[in-house]
Structure 1
Amino acid sequence: MESVLAASPVIKVAALCGSLRQASFNRALLRSAAEICEKSVSGMKVEYVDVSPLPMLNTDLEVGGRFPAAVDAFRQKILQADSILFASPEYNYSVTAPLKNAIDWASRPPNVWADKAAAIVSAGGGFGGGRSQYHLRQIGVYLDLHFINKPEFFLNVFQPPLKFDDDGNLTDAETKERLKEVLLSLQAFTLRLQGKL
């Protein structure tokens, strides 16, 4: 798939990681996605949006129709994004608590996820986080998030050859190419939803 022409508007992608660990492989995927966009996907910019400052969802914190400052800042980032890139590790066959908490805060009226394109990547053992992706797609139905269907991206990080170096940087060329294909698909789908392609 070829990158969309540089004349197209820049697609702003909000990148969210379901793991809070600094050394998370899923967070490393998002770093690599941002680097790939800078180097070889014109017209697309990935910005990491940290979910760790968000308090646990509690509607008592909504006072006078206003959200806590951290929640409001997060919601604004999602609102201003054209599309979303989730890095969703799998905990107990599902999405993680930090990611679900972020999703729920941004879905509070008015729902700022609605009508955005989205993609999911995941890294882990076994199925590479695949079960979390299926749950996230189900959640997206209610949120009016529109996920790309192909390509799917699940990464088993423990199968040789090693995919990351000791500093947590994605080094495997084939995995980088697969990640680039996800980004190109997300870019094209975003433009199509916006009526620009």
Structure 2
Amino acid sequence: MAVRILTLVGSLRSGSHNRRLAEAAVQIAPEHVEVGLFEGLDTVPFYNEDLDAEGAVPAPAARLREAAAEADALLLVSPEYNGTIPAVLKNAIDWLSRPYGAGALSGKPVAVVGTAFGQYGGVWAQDEARKAVKIAGGAVAEDLTLSIPSSVVRFADLHPVDDPEVTEKLAGVVEGLAARVAATV
């Protein structure tokens, strides 16, 4: 049985380098790992406890929770917006953190990677994402990281899947997540 990794991308832009990085993770996954991209983060309403009532959870949020619950691990792919995590990704973490103590992230292995325009590759945003996931109950894989700087230049004419350095490091993250899952079974 394949390890299932759900990927959430924090950029909604159609030409997003982070989206392409997530696509690369799908393409390079080994046979025993199934990496899937969640589509529709832009349709999930901002978390509001008034909306989070049994039988009344908005369909996009319920779909997100279901997809995360069915996954063995999560891979978050985050750009950096003004030195921090994009709102759409933070919102997803908020929805997945509930119900408190039993959310879809609870105890689940999670890695955070990404690329950004700046010279540090979005490490501040990735650190913030790890912090939020850890507080939400996820088992953050602190050692599985990938921060790719200068995305606008590096990926101007090159898809991340065609960059050997990126694919090698990304494969290490994917395989590391799969190993975390195998260790907990």
- Does the alignment reach a TM-score above 0.5? yes
Cα contact 1:117–1:193 (8 A) shared by 2: no
Q: Structure 2: how far apart are the matches of 1:123 and 1:63? A: 36
Rg comparison, structure with higher value = 1
Show the counterpart of 2:128: 135
CA shift digits 1:124-177 (9 cap, x unpaired): 1221010111111211222221122324200013486x34536x5532111111
1:60 equivalent among 50, 55, 60: 50
Q: Matched residue pairs, number?
A: 181
Show the counterpart of 2:8: 16
Q: In structure 1, what residue type is equivalent to 2:74?
A: I
Name which of structure 1's ranges 76-85 and 176-185 shifts more when overlaid on structure 2.
Answer: 176-185
Cα contact 1:164–1:171 (8 A) shared by 2: no
List aligned pairs for 1:45-194, cutoff 5 A: 45-50=34-39, 51-109=41-99, 110-124=102-116, 125-158=118-151, 162-163=154-155, 165=157, 168=159, 170-194=161-185
| Deviation, structure 1 residue 71 | 0.9
TM-score after normalising by structure 1: 0.84
Cα contact 2:76–2:112 (8 A) shared by 1: yes
Query: Which sections of structure 2, spanning at least 5 residues, go unmatched?
Result: none
| Deviation, structure 1 residue 193 | 2.2
| Deviation, structure 1 residue 104 | 0.7
Q: Structure 2: how far apart are the matches of 1:63 and 1:143? A: 19
Q: Structure 2: how far apart are the matches of 1:171 and 1:144? A: 35
RMSD: 1.8
What percent identity do the matched residue pairs reach? 30
Cα contact 1:107–1:113 (8 A) shared by 2: yes
Cα contact 1:84–1:119 (8 A) shared by 2: yes
Q: Structure 2: how far apart are the matches of 1:180 and 1:64? A: 39
SS of match in other structure, 1:152: strand
Q: Structure 2: how far apart are the matches of 1:79 and 1:159? A: 34
Q: Structure 1: how far apart are the matches of 2:104 and 2:62? A: 11
CA shift digits 1:98-123 (9 cap, x unpaired): 00111111212141110111111110
1:43 equivalent among 16, 32, 37: 32
SS of match in other structure, 1:149: strand
Q: Structure 2: how far apart are the matches of 1:85 and 1:22? A: 19
Cα contact 1:88–1:132 (8 A) shared by 2: yes
TM-score after normalising by structure 2: 0.90
